[in-house]
Structure 1
Amino acid sequence: MSAEELRRVASESFGWERLRDEQLRAMEALMAGRDALAVLPTGAGKSAIYQVPAPLLPGPTIVVSPLLALQQDQISSLTARNHEDLVAVRLSSAEGKTEREEALESLRKGDAEFVFLTPEQFSDPARVAQIKALKPSLVAVDEAHCVSAWGHDFRPDYLQLGQFIRELGRPPIVALTATASPPVREDIIDRLGLRDPEVVVMGLDRPNLYLESVHCADEEIRYRRLVSRIQESEMPGIVYAPTRRATEELAERLSQEGLKAVAYHGGMSAGDRERAHEAFLADEVPIMVATTAFGMGIDKPNIRWVNHVSLPDSPDSYLQEIGRAGRDGQPAHVLLLHRTEDTGLRKFFSNVSVDKEEVASLAALLRSAKEPLTRGELEEQTGLGERRLGQLLGLLEEVGGARMLHGGKVKAPRWAPAPAKAAELVEAQAERQQTVSRSRLDMMRNFAETQQCRGRTLLAYFGEHLEGTCEHCDNCTDGSAAEGLAAADEAPFPIHAEVRHGEWGKGVVLSYAGEQMTVLFEQVGYKTLSVPVVKEHRLLRKV
């Protein structure tokens, strides 16, 4: 009966006459008390996966989301339904004490079904106790890729979610994201402690987005190409730039060209960012020039184009950013203007340095402490800044040298490695992360430079195999993509086959394009190999 009930709620409460098969599979898992991981493209109805089952479950639903603006959009959407079973409240720094008490009371009385929280709220033991007393029946983790160091928007605060959910009595968890490559999915499952989850991955191809990539010899050529493209494009649109300074300079130059633009980056005050955001949403400013800080929660349906003036750091970031175009289902254009020099800039940003003495001192402090320490206490005793401390604690947690507790406290696990050993393990883990980050950058560069089908190349990174060519990219349009399409019977291994390389270890075959194959290796990340060379020298063997 769960499927019938789910369809009834979807129809009566939300006005949705049908549910996608992927949505229904995840919903039914939650109704059966199982966990679920859903990777669905923008606009495919991720929120519905927790919203529809929620009224059918006995307790309130906890929704963890990283941005207050994103939470407000979802609350407004639920409120607009004007249904007593869909009342949503929020507990955050944006509400006063009285508002928070009223929200908690409405949850206790059963008058509210959803409560939205940011991960930072779990650092307060009193807040954890209040949520636990509500006996929640479901926890939805939105933008779940934030929990993964391999993802494009890693946030250390997400690391404590698994512990927090266990303290709640371990209700079913649904993790939701629009972009998660295979290693990110594995990380989400591991970090959140998902138990035998129903994993739902919906096709990420966006046929209404026309993909184009152009190599530019110098900055002036890149700028003139950008201006020319904007002048011939329908508004509004987004330009993604690599640095804060670049966004401001580019917004000013475009404005001088008569193209009204505003900059947006993380270094601006909250008020300035909010004003820029609101002006763009209201179509008062047609062009947003932004860093990746202009990201999650941008739900503007009529964005007609997204142009990049630098190579993104990974296909993860790229897919998320171009996903803001054409949400209304109408045709949209995405253009990547790249230079060879972009790779060096991205490698500089991805560099992670580890001082073994620094790590050993931090590990020793955790081991010697009689009681768990707060982040503030650790900052004071180590002299490390907030960002650096968070980075090292994340690495220590990955190698078993630290454990995050509720209230934002940290302790050394009982079987933590000795400080010197922990420092060695952290150094190795940081090197592995950097290796994988650079392999992701290599994949991004491969996408930018390929003469093969771009849609096929992009989807391969996410473990999806596209039959034929996408027919919505520049290489498909000029015919070069069809020329390079490999015959399936020439492939040495099936798609998704597990293979082993003598030096790089175990991996999974993701795709073929022309005479190239893409393999994701556990230790060294993504590699593009020559099929004839693999065959001739027997570089891979099936596991």
Structure 2
Amino acid sequence: MKLPPLHAIRLRRAARHRFGWRSLRPDQLTAMRAVMRRRDALVILPTGGGKSAVYQVPATLLTGPTVVISPLLALQQDQITALNDRAQPELRAVRISSAESAGQQAAALDEIRSRRARFLFTTPEQLSNPKRLAEVRALRPALVAVDEAHCISAWGHDFRPDYLALGHLIRELGRPPVVALTATASPPVRDDIVGRLGLRRPRVVVSGLDRANLFLEVANCATEDYRWRRLLALLRAEPRPGIVYVPTRRAAEELAERLTGADFPAKYYHGGMPGGARENLHEDFLADRVPIMVATSAFGMGIDKPNIRWVVHMALPDAPDSYLQEIGRAGRDRGPARALLLWRAEDVGLRRYFTGGAPDPEELRDLAALLRDGPTTRTALRERTGLGARKLGQLLALLERVGAADTRPDNRLGSPRYAPKPVDAATAALAEAERQQTVQRSRTDMMRAFAETRSCRGQTLLAYFGERLPKPCGHCDNCHAGLDAAVSPAGTGTTRGGFGRRGGRNGPRAEEPFPVHSAVRHVEWGSGMVLGYEGDRMTVLFDEVGYKTLSVRVVSAQGLLEPQR
């Protein structure tokens, strides 16, 4: 009889004794064992999938505190409360953030120092302070957990410029093992997380992205009036609470007012509101005082609310990443929930507008020149350039990618020794920005393909993340309508480009010339990764041009792809 590894036994025992959990899911255990081996890990589990357990259970077995870095104070507070409510010294959690006074911060550090607390929650902004960074380093952390890790990625819809320096800050902490956690991350986002955090041969765990209790439904709305009537039909039929996502701040305010006037009391939420007002709305929603929240994508990250019964999108999301993240907030109690996408072709143009134009080459050149003057701070750069924090962060990220910017040990910004000249750096950064925009447009194309597909939506959506459902999901409108009936007799399909074409249960299936996740090369588009197959179509993510859907037969007949050596 083969005995289970020692780490697995200890982890299961800690989960049972410390947290009262009778079992751990295989994906959780896999990630935990990597942590126990002092190996970095990137863990992608759905909302409500037990991501926090991945660092909490091993932390009780490690010698040294665990530092948890998270972008949201409300999310931190939820996790701190959950740990401290267990009234066990081994699970005590404290925090240093802008919400605590200097005395409270000093007391928190003292609790960690004297081993009366094991978890230290903080933000990237706190660690950016050299004095604070030195204090945390002196605690000799055994583990760093980066929650909502997609925030570090320029591909992520919750991109946070303050996260960009985290890789450098973690090295300054003595480079303990790192576990990065997020609910969704497509291949470009995963690569960004690994690169920017400096993860070393990380154990990547991706599991459970299919949510069987979540019914996926899409309606192409010919008019705005039809889109409004479909929303009202759902509100009349479904219990609350729920979230309605809209693309702009103005749309959030106007739709909330219109719904309230139609006897569906609603509140709106967007990033342009004062912080206090947003925090109050967040708390009211959690307490079931807001039955309908109309919001931009600024709302929802870190929400631990199990009874959200539906999520509606009133326009095409920018990419499957944000779509999966947002619909994942429904049905966390594993009860039935709905995800309804109401879209129009005009939405694509709006998304193209949001993608924006190219950055100003003069701003890039001038910023690169300022960095060559010597190490400086972000605050000083904002004052000298007049750039906002978000835009400055994006330009710095571009310059960093082309070797014209770096972060120093004291968290000051400078120019590497062999950095290109400012004008050359601007040219290279502009080319990188254009590449990113090309990939982003392909992400929107994939979202449109999902909306237009007549195949299983679950299979189609997960294919974008390089995951494969062995059979139709059974919880989408196309599955319920009957996939066979949705495929034309000739099996040709008429859906616009994308990775969801046809396939049904009886659809033709061509041979798969390359394994899923294998590296390939195209003579024009360069290097790529095979994400999946559907019928006689294959989806490939290319480094330079983004997502492409190709005919398997054409690829095989014309030799369009070859294995990447």
| TM-score in same-fold range (> 0.5) | yes
Give how far 1:408 is off. Answer: 4.4
Give how far 1:150 is off. Answer: 1.7
Aligned to 2:127: 122
Q: Of the candidates 209, 217, 242, which is equivalent to residue 214 of structure 2?
A: 209
Query: Are 1:111 and 2:132 an aligned pair?
Result: no
Give how far 1:487 is off. Answer: 4.8
Contact 1:451 1:481 in 2 (8 A): no
Aligned to 1:354: 359
Other structure's SS at 1:334 match: strand
Aligned to 1:364: 369
Q: Of the candidates 176, 179, 194, which is equivalent to residue 184 of structure 2?
A: 179
Q: What amino acid is aligned across from residue 394 of structure 1 in structure 2? A: A
Other structure's SS at 2:219 match: strand
Unpaired runs of at least 5, structure 2: 1-5, 488-501
Residues 1:481 and 1:10: Cα distance change in structure 2 (over 3 Å): farther
- Cα distance in 1 between the residues matched to 2:282 and 2:363: 40
Other structure's SS at 1:245 match: helix
User: What RMSD over aligned residues (CA atoms) do the two structures have, in Å?
Assistant: 1.5
- Cα distance in 2 between the residues matched to 1:487 and 1:90: 56
Contact 1:122 1:407 in 2 (8 A): no
Aligned to 1:409: 412
Q: What amino acid is aligned across from residue 521 of structure 1 in structure 2? A: F
Contact 2:510 2:535 in 1 (8 A): no
Give how far 1:74 is off. Answer: 0.5
Contact 1:375 1:408 in 2 (8 A): no
- Cα distance in 2 between the residues matched to 1:407 and 1:67: 24
Aligned to 1:514: 535
Matches within 5 A, 1:43-192: 43-192=48-197
Contact 1:210 1:333 in 2 (8 A): yes
- Cα distance in 1 between the residues matched to 2:563 and 2:482: 34
Give how far 1:498 is off. Answer: 2.3
Matches within 5 A, 1:527-538: 527-538=548-559
Contact 1:465 1:495 in 2 (8 A): no
Give how far 1:407 is off. Answer: 5.0
Other structure's SS at 1:212 match: strand
Give how far 1:91 is off. Answer: 0.2
- Cα distance in 1 between the residues matched to 2:362 and 2:274: 36
- Cα distance in 2 between the residues matched to 1:295 and 1:269: 16
Aligned to 2:314: 309
Other structure's SS at 2:164 match: helix
- Cα distance in 1 between the residues matched to 2:336 and 2:392: 45
Q: What amino acid is aligned across from residue 532 of structure 2 in structure 1? A: S
- Cα distance in 1 between the residues matched to 2:442 and 2:20: 44
Q: Which moved more, 1:204-213 or 1:404-413?
A: 404-413
Contact 1:496 1:509 in 2 (8 A): yes
- Cα distance in 1 between the residues matched to 2:165 and 2:290: 39
Unpaired runs of at least 5, structure 1: none
Aligned to 2:464: 461
**How much identity, in percent, do the aligned residues show?**
62
Aligned to 1:376: 379
Aligned to 1:423: 426
Aligned to 1:231: 236
Q: What amino acid is aligned across from residue 34 of structure 1 in structure 2? A: R
Contact 1:10 1:52 in 2 (8 A): yes
Deviation track 1:28-62 (CA, whole Å, cap 9, x = no partner) reads 12112111111111122111111011121111100
Query: Are 1:222 and 2:227 an aligned pair?
Result: yes
Deviation track 1:59-83 (CA, whole Å, cap 9, x = no partner) reads 1100000000000011011112111
Other structure's SS at 2:51 match: coil
Q: TM-score, normalised by structure 1?
A: 0.97
Give how far 1:527 is off. Answer: 1.1
- Cα distance in 2 between the residues matched to 1:33 and 1:384: 40
Contact 2:509 2:536 in 1 (8 A): no
- Cα distance in 1 between the residues matched to 2:194 and 2:338: 34
Q: TM-score, normalised by structure 2?
A: 0.93
Aligned to 1:385: 388
- Cα distance in 2 between the residues matched to 1:276 and 1:317: 21
Count of aligned positions:
541
- Cα distance in 2 between the residues matched to 1:57 and 1:481: 54
Give how far 1:488 is off. Answer: 4.8
Query: Are 1:475 and 2:475 an aligned pair?
Result: no
Deviation track 1:202-252 (CA, whole Å, cap 9, x = no partner) reads 131001100000000121111111111111111111100100110111011
- Cα distance in 2 between the residues matched to 1:42 and 1:204: 9
Q: Which moved more, 1:62-71 or 1:410-419?
A: 410-419
- Cα distance in 2 between the residues matched to 1:77 and 1:156: 29
Contact 2:169 2:411 in 1 (8 A): no
Give how far 1:322 is off. Answer: 0.1
- Cα distance in 2 between the residues matched to 1:324 and 1:228: 21
Other structure's SS at 1:435 match: helix
Aligned to 2:17: 12
Give how far 1:513 is off. Answer: 2.1
Other structure's SS at 1:499 match: strand
Query: Are 1:496 and 2:538 an aligned pair?
Result: no
Contact 2:49 2:208 in 1 (8 A): no
Other structure's SS at 1:490 match: coil
- Cα distance in 2 between the residues matched to 1:457 and 1:323: 16
Deviation track 1:269-316 (CA, whole Å, cap 9, x = no partner) reads 122222222222222221111100102111110111100000000000
- Cα distance in 2 between the residues matched to 1:186 and 1:381: 32
Q: Which moved more, 1:266-275 or 1:401-410?
A: 401-410
Q: Of the candidates 395, 403, 407, which is equivalent to residue 400 of structure 1?
A: 403
Q: What amino acid is aligned across from residue 287 of structure 2 in structure 1? A: A
Give how far 1:406 is off. Answer: 5.0
Give how far 1:538 is off. Answer: 3.1
Give how far 1:416 is off. Answer: 1.1
